[in-house]
Amino acid sequence: EPMLGVVQHWVDEGYIQIPEGIAMCTSTPADVLGLDDRGRIAVGLRGDVAVVSEADVRDVRAIIVEGRVHDFR
């Protein structure tokens, strides 16, 4: 959660938009680690998705892994 907390703070302060913040938590780390099949949604890539609240990206509502939805509400 520390990374999400920083991202939420930057969104709240208007420094970045939510899509930029999500990329900071997904595609950027995947790229740094050389995980070419992760970090973004595209055909042929792994399809795990975290569904977060638009009001607070730290509020994970559900996770979709291998086609299964795990609802946290």
Percentage above 90 pLDDT, the chain: 36
Please check whether residue 15 is in contact with residue 22, taking contact to mean a CB–CB distance below 8 angstroms: no
DSSP 3-state of 52 = strand
Say yes or no to pLDDT of 46 above 80. yes
* Residue labelled with tokens 């086609």: 67
Strands 68-71 and 49-52, how do they pair?
unpaired
Q: Ranked by mean pLDDT, which of 3-7, 14-18, 44-48 comes out on top?
A: 14-18
pTM for this prediction: 0.67
Which of the four pLDDT bands, split at 50, 70 and 90, describes residue 1?
low
**Rounded Cα–Cα distance for residues 28 and 3 (Å):** 12
**Rounded Cα–Cα distance for residues 67 and 73 (Å):** 18
Say yes or no to pLDDT of 19 above 70. yes
What pLDDT is attached to residue 4? 84
